[in-house]
Amino acid sequence: MESLASGFLLSISLIMAIGAQNAFVLKQGIKKHHVFWVSLVCAVSDALLIAAGIAGFGAAVEAFPTLETVARYGGAAFLIIYGIKSLMSAFGPDHSLEPEGEEPDSLVKIIAMTLAFTWLNPHVYLDTVVLLGAVATQYEGTARTLFGIGAMSASGVFFFSLGYGARFLAPLFHKPVAWKILDALVAMIMFTIAASLLLG
């Protein structure tokens, strides 16, 4: 059980940092648009990456640095584009979360964007694949499996809590100025992470 708790605590400490993926989940949660699917895609993606890390894929990523380079520049380009979109929204016409307000994007588009935020983010490979994979090597057999289960559970708990917990902020975002501030903050997060990828 110690390995289960260790996997859970390490995983959730890595996920909790505010990043592009978390900002996107938060925004969809506030808007109440496809929250279940966004949370599920994030959790399942993390579970697959954690499983790959524990299975030893972290060593493969380190052996082929080209994979990291492709993810770095592809992720930076995606974040810049999304950041520009958020910035335009922040300085565009007023909008709020009233029932007659913004129409939700299609489920297919939202899932595609969620996958992009997850799989085009090089940091996710460092955290879930390389780091968790490296820590998992200190466990053997059943203990390693429990470590992986704990790490995957943390991801599921976090993303569903973030997605559905965000709706408690919805009343605040009936005010157009609050929505503009959020869009501006999201844009800043996207640009900052993109810069760290390009300059790192």
> What is this structure's pTM?
0.72
**What tokens were used for 104?**
């939700």
pLDDT, position 198: 81
For the beta carbon of residue 93, count every other beta carbon within 10 angstroms: 6
pLDDT at 43 over 60: yes
Domain map (residue ranges) of the chain: 2-199
Q: Which residues contact 15 (CB under 8 A, 6 or more apart)?
A: 22, 46, 127, 154, 155, 158, 159
pLDDT, position 77: 82
Report helix, strand or coil for 74.
helix
111 exposure class (CB count in 10 Å sphere: 0-12, 13-18, 19+):
middle
Do residues 94 and 176 lie in contact, with contact meaning Cβ atoms separated by under 8 Å? yes
Q: What is the pLDDT of residues 79-101, one digit of tens each?
A: 788 788 878 877 877 655 444 44
Amino acid at site 166: A
pLDDT at 2 over 90: no
Rounded Cα gap, residues 111 and 114, in angstroms: 5
pLDDT at 161 over 90: yes
